[in-house]
């Protein structure tokens, strides 16, 4: 069958075998399914009860569950609902020894992909499994292409300069490796998060999750529980059921550790174990959890200097730096400044219903000659403020506020004017951020995406302006 061939060629190409969980109380069926499906090069786990399957689901992210409707304890229909609550992307094939039309109809309405009646032929179940996995692969491919298009359309990915073109050629090569770690280094605001997304979407792991965490935004204990999860009662405030960590959620996908230089030495040791042994323990747990996750880390620090100072582990540094990417500052790729400015003008014209469509030559020169200490992020914020304050079709220097303080010394009058303008801009920015927060019900990820800033910057702005939910 063509479908079967496509799944097998995909497994061979990616080196990542789909994971299947078989849940059936009959040992013979579990054994036969495991043997037959492993011969097809799938990775297969088995459980005899719904309770055990739920516990395994907290450690495992299967692509497919083959589930018996009649189980002791939690029945198959209830387990199906729990699986869909846990992860709606997991496909479920039902096995039933009873021609119960009502149960099958309820199960299909609850999200089951297909069902098979016992006794079944092994060749038949192989066909249904291949069909399910091909359907899931197609869904992920559509999502990947949409995300790839979104990335290609993003203002920050514009690369008109030779420097950025060379970087992206390098990144495309890096993305071909499905597992090697990547270390992205560069000043704040150069687009490290964007590059991490780009690497993920161009890699074989793009069918799975991209999980990101800012190491500077969380305390050591919170960061540990977020990354590795925790068992119930492991610390005060831990939930009664425990919680899976981001590494588990990112199974077979990519984990992006932003600002890795802020991670404590003790957590660095645990991260090193994940890189070396592909396993870890939850906070308060005793069982090893095995993971297959690609790690991309980023930092604006000089990690070699941090190693010399004793702030960063030398062995972890070299583990992370298998595939390094160095992002140059915007002042080092000035050919990108005007294309980036024009793209941001287009974006903010649509967002704020403005019609700024002209950049005078003197403004282009001003933009190109400015040093951009905040890099691409600063450029985007400057254009946003200028569009917000604009009342005509031409980009104005008075709204950009670039370099005016360095050029004025007339008895402090110009300096005072600049301060007044800064206060005005801060008020506009505060009101705009507050408006978007309310519209998104204070959902930080959605708000930061709309504002075009990362979550750390958003948290800092909320603190700076004293915004409260």
* Residue 258, SS3 per DSSP: strand
Selected residue with higher pLDDT from 65 and 106: 65
The packing angle between helices 413-439 and 375-389, to 10°, is 90
- Return phi, psi of residue 116, to 5°: -135, 140
180-220 per-position pLDDT tens digit: 899 999 999 898 988 998 899 888 888 888 899 999 888 88
**406-469 and 331-403 share a CATH fold:** no
What is the DSSP secondary structure assignment for residue 190, as one 8-state letter?
Answer: S
- What confidence tier does 399 reach under pLDDT thresholds 50, 70, 90? confident
**d(C-alpha 426, C-alpha 397), whole Å:** 17
Neighbours of 134 (CB within 10 A): 17
For the cut 60, the answer to whether the pLDDT of residue 429 exceeds it is: yes
On whether the 156-328 domain is CATH 3.40.50.300, my answer is: yes
Looking at every residue in the chain, the average pLDDT score rounds to 81
288-321 per-position pLDDT tens digit: 888 889 999 999 999 999 999 999 999 999 999 9
Whether the model pTM is above 0.85? no
Produce one character per residue of 363-378: b if its CB has 16 or more CB atoms within 10 Å, e if not: beebbeebebebbbbb
Domain boundaries, the chain: 2-142, 156-328, 331-403, 406-469
2-142 has which fold? Rossmann fold (3.40.50)
Measured at the alpha carbon of residue 190, what is the angle toward residues 189 and 194, in degrees to the nearest 5? 100
**C-alpha torsion 24→26→28→30, nearest 10:** 10
1.20.1440.230, 1.10.8.60, 3.40.50.720, 1.10.10.60: CATH of 331-403: 1.10.8.60
The pLDDT value given to residue 3: 41
134-157 per-position pLDDT tens digit: 877 776 666 555 555 444 444 346
The pLDDT value given to residue 243: 79
Domain 406-469: top CATH class? mainly alpha
Q: What kind and span of H or E run contains 65?
A: strand 64-68
Average pLDDT over residues 378-388: 90
What lies within 8 Å, CB to CB, of 342 at 6+ separation is 359
* Number of residues assigned to the chain: 469
Average pLDDT over residues 326-334: 92
The pLDDT value given to residue 405: 39
**d(C-alpha 12, C-alpha 9), whole Å:** 5
**d(C-alpha 41, C-alpha 337), whole Å:** 50
The pLDDT value given to residue 274: 92
Residue whose C-alpha is closest to residue 248's, from 193, 299, 208? 208
């Amino acid at each position: 069958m063509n479908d079967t061939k496509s799944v097998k060629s995909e497994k061979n190409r990616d080196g990542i075998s789909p994971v299947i969980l078989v849940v059936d109380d009959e040992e013979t069926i579990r054994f036969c399914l495991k043997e037959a499906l492993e011969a097809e090069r799938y990775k297969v786990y088995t459980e005899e009860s719904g309770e055990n399957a739920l516990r395994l689901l907290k450690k495992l992210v299967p692509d497919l569950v083959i589930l018996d409707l009649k189980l002791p304890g939690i029945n198959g229909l209830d387990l199906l609902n729990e699986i869909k609550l846990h992860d709606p992307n997991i496909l479920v094939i039902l096995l039933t020894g009873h021609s119960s039309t009502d149960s099958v109809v309820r199960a299909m309405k609850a999200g089951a992909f297909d069902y098979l009646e016992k006794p079944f032929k092994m060749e038949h179940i192989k066909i249904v499994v291949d069909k399910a996995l091909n359907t899931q692969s197609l869904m992920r491919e559509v999502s990947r292409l949409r995300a790839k298009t979104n990335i290609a359309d993003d203002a920050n990915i514009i690369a008109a300069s030779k420097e950025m073109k060379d970087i992206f050629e390098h990144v495309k090569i890096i993305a071909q490796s499905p597992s090697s770690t990547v270390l992205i280094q560069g000043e704040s605001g150069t687009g490290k998060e964007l590059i991490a997304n780009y690497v993920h979407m161009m890699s074989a792991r793009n069918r799975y999750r991209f999980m990101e965490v800012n190491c500077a935004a969380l305390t050591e204990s919170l960061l540990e529980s977020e990354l590795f999860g925790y068992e119930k009662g492991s610390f005060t405030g831990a939930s009664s059921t425990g919680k899976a960590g981001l590494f588990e959620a990112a199974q077979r996908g990519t984990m992006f550790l932003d600002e890795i230089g802020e991670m404590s030495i003790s957590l660095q040791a645990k991260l090193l174990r994940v890189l070396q042994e592909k396993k870890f323990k939850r906070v308060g747990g005793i069982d090893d959890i095995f993971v297959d996750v690609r790690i991309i880390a980023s930092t604006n620090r000089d990690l070699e200097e941090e190693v010399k100072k004793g702030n960063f582990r030398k062995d972890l540094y070299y583990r992370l730096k298998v595939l390094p990417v160095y992002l140059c500052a915007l002042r080092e790729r000035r050919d990108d400044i005007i294309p980036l400015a024009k793209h941001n003008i287009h974006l903010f014209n649509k967002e704020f219903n403005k019609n700024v469509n002209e950049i005078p030559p003197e403004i282009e020169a001003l933009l190109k000659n400015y040093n951009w200490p905040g890099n691409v992020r600063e450029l985007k914020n400057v254009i946003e403020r200028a569009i917000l304050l604009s009342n005509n079709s031409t980009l104005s220097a008075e709204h950009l506020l670039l370099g005016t303080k360095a050029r004025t010394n007339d008895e402090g009058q110009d300096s005072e004017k600049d301060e007044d303008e800064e206060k005005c801009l801060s008020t506009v920015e505060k009101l705009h951020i507050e408006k978007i927060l309310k519209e998104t019900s204070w959902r930080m990820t959605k708000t930061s995406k709309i504002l075009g800033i990362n979550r750390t910057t958003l948290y800092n702005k909320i603190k700076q302006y004293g915004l409260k939910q």
